[in-house]
Amino acid sequence: MNALNLLFQFADNFAFVVLAAVGLAVIFGMMGVINLGHGEFIMIGAYGTTLSANAGAPLPVAMAIGVLVTAVMGLILERTIIHRLYDRLFDSMVATWALGLILTQGMRILFGNSIPQVSTPLGNIAYGEFSYSTYRVLLLPVALLVLGGLYVLFTRTEFGIRARATIQDPDTARALGVDTDRMYTATFVIGSALAGLTGALYAPTLTVVPGMGSSFLVEAFVAVVVGGPSVLLGTTLSGGLLGTIDAVFTNLFGTFYGQIAMLLTAIVVIRVLSDGLTGLVETVRNRVEGE
């Protein structure tokens, strides 16, 4: 086993788990809504990026467009549908599942079974007989940046304080003058934008087709379960844990064992640390925030 290989594969897997999960985790952790259309939100981000790039936009601009499109879609869906379902969390799952169905088939009707794909930029890092895609490795710092940004947003800004107050006790927050409706809307839009960002980032390196969203779902849900209700630390920790396990097992035994090991880890973590990890994460976060 080559150490650099393992390192790059870990970077790759960590970024994938974190980016797949982060949009879902924000919406779930902050609002308790399970967005079963999460994969399709990612797909919309990827379509927005790829179509803009095909129309001539430079890749970074195209990615920004992809994020924007998904965020706007999230805003519209929140105002028209999701906000009616906040006190009916399980119904919101059915509704988002239906939305996913409509989005997938809608994109197929609009743009066909496939669109011309963008190629991966930035070349590769070569070392000895091996090489690794630079772009894929760079997704690790991007994922960390996203997490860092969210941390600042939710703990260091007025908005974040209001948002967390809304989550912890909506009635009191409302009594103190927080517009909780707007907080929910904003959180959903942020979650959508993050899903869009994931789609944008993976558009040049995955296959952009209407059904692509499903390839993120397993990692996203597993990471959210393992991470627990504490969105940021939870996602980071589960990204680290699952990314490591996936990289090691894949390297040693092959891709299938990587996947299975990751899923089994999730089950074990939930059972052994169900309260423990949640509690642990909460304590750690409180301590970090308390400083």
Partner 1 sequence: MSGKRSGLSRRSFLATGGAIGGAALAGCLTGGGSGEETVKLGIIEDRSGNFALNGTPKYNASMLAIEELNEEGGILGNEIETFAPDPQSDNQRYQQLTRQAINEENVDALWAGYSSATRETIRPIIDQNEQLYFYTTQYEGGVCDSYTFCMGATARQQLGSVLPYMVENFGTDIYTIAADYNFGQLSADWVRVLADENDANVIGEEFIPLSVTDFGSTINNIQDADPDFVMALLVGANHTSFWNQRTSAGLDVPMGTSTVMAQGYQHKRLDPPAMANVYGGFNYMEEIPTDRNQEFVSRYYEKFPDAAYINEEAVNNYFSIKMYARAAEAVGSTNQADIIEELEKGMDVSAPEGDISLQGPVHHMTHNMRVFRCDEDHTITVEDEQQISEQFLSETVGCNLRENEETTQYVPADYYEEADATQE
Partner 2 sequence: MGLADALDRLRRPFEGPNTLGNGRAFWVGFLVVLVGLVGYPIGFGSYAASSAALYLLYAILALSLTVIWGYTGILSFGQVAFFGVAGYSFALLSMNLESALTTMLALPVAVGIAALAALVLGYFMFYGEVRDVYVTILTLVVALVLNTFMAQTAGSEWTVGSVALGGFNGIPAIPSLTFGVGETAITLDGAAFYWFTLAALVASYLGLRALVNGRFGYAMVATREDEDRTEMLGYDVRRVKLLVFVLGGALAGLSGVLYATWGNYISPSVFGITFASIPVVWVAVGGRRSLLGAVVATVVIEWFRQQLSATGSQYALIVVGVVLLASILFVPEGVVPRLDAAIRGARDRFGASNDAPEGTPE
Give the residues lining the site for partner 1 (CB under 8 A): 2, 5, 8-9, 12-13, 16, 105, 108, 112-120, 122-124, 126, 129-136, 204-207, 209-212, 215, 218, 247, 250-251, 254-256, 258-259
Residue carrying structure tokens 């948002």:
163
Angle at 105 between CA 101 and CA 109, to 5 degrees: 160
Residue of 1, 3, 55, 109 that binds partner 2 (CB under 8 A): 109
Binds partner 2 (CB under 8 A): choice among 145, 264, 284, 288: 264
Task: CB nearer to partner 2: give 92 or 166.
Answer: 92
How many Å apart are CA 21 and CA 181, to the nearest integer? Answer: 24
Contact 210, 104 (CB under 8 A): yes
Of 54 and 172, which has the nearer Cβ to partner 1?
Answer: 54
**At closest approach, how far in Å is the CB of 89 from partner 2?**
7
Closest separation between CB of residue 274 and partner 2, Å? Answer: 5
Which CB, 235 or 250, lies closer to partner 1? 250
CB of 283: closest distance to partner 1 in angstroms? 33
Interface segment toward partner 2; rule CB under 8 A; list 60-68, 191-199, 253-261, 282-290: 253-261
Take residue 111 and report the two structure tokens written for it: 């743009």
Residue 286 interacts with which of partner 1, partner 2, none, CB < 5 to 8 Å by class: none
For the chain, the straight-line distance linking the first and the last C-alpha, in angstroms and rounded, comes to 42
Structure tokens given for 202: 């993976």
Shortest distance, CB of residue 163 to partner 2, whole angstroms? Answer: 19
If binding is defined by CB under 8 A, does position 167 make contact with partner 2? Answer: no
Q: Which of partner 1, partner 2, none binds 169 (CB below 5-8 Å, type-dependent)?
A: none
Distance of closest approach, residue 224 Cβ to partner 2, in angstroms: 7
User: 126: which strand partners?
Assistant: 131
Contact 24, 201 (CB under 8 A): no
DSSP code per residue over 259-287: HHHHHHHHHHHHHHHHHHHHHHHHHHHHH
Rg (CA), the chain: 19
Per partner kind, with CB cut-offs from 5 to 8 A, the member of partner 1, partner 2, none near residue 136 is: partner 1
CA nearest 220: which of 208, 233, 237, 238? 238
**Best CA proximity match to 106, nearest among 211, 181, 216:** 211
Q: Measure the CA–CA gap between 123 and 137, rounded to whole angstroms.
A: 11
> Sign of torsion, CA 61 67 68 70?
positive
Please report how close the Cβ of residue 76 comes to partner 1 at its closest, in angstroms: 24
Shortest Cβ distance from residue 136 to partner 1 (Å)?
A: 6
Interface contacts to partner 2, rule CB under 8 A: 28, 32, 34, 36, 81, 84-85, 88-91, 93-95, 97-102, 104-106, 108-109, 214, 217-218, 221-222, 224-225, 256, 259-260, 263-264, 266-267, 270-271, 274-275
